[in-house]
Amino acid sequence: QVQLVESGGGLVQAGGSLRLSCAASGRTFRSYTMGWFRQAPGKEREFVAAISWTVDNTYYADSVKGRFTISRSNAKNTVYLQMNSLKPEDTAVYYCAADTRLVELLSRPQEYEYWGQGTQVTVSS
């Protein structure tokens, strides 16, 4: 069982930045594929970014490419999402997800095994 705990959400003005963190349990974090998703009210959960367990390959949704950066610290069992140039349309609950089955990049929610509880990000105009 893997537990994921997100932090770092909050209220920010458009154009600002936030860094989300997701702390994971487990001794084999370095073998987890990690992802970030978000869900706005009345909308489906959507993919934001993913980072593989091998040589830190990354993958981004087109809507955040060039503005968001996913990274990981295997020493700290933590994955990060640096969000710059935030827009009001980035407002959502952001969720961290993990897959432990030694796969590469995953972009669909159903492909992930474990989920955090989410952290709210609100971008004001």
Strand partners, 96: 36
Question: Helix, strand, coil shares of the chain as percentages rounded to 5?
Answer: 5, 45, 45
Instruction: Return the amino acid letter for 60.
Output: Y
Here the tokens at position 20 are: 């989300």
Query: How far does CA 30 lie from the centroid of its chain?
Result: 16
Here the tokens at position 2 are: 């893997």
Span 69-90, pLDDT tens digits: 999 999 999 999 999 999 999 9
Span 97-122, pLDDT tens digits: 999 988 888 999 999 999 999 999 99
- Shortest CA distance to 78 belongs to which of 121, 33, 10, 22? 22
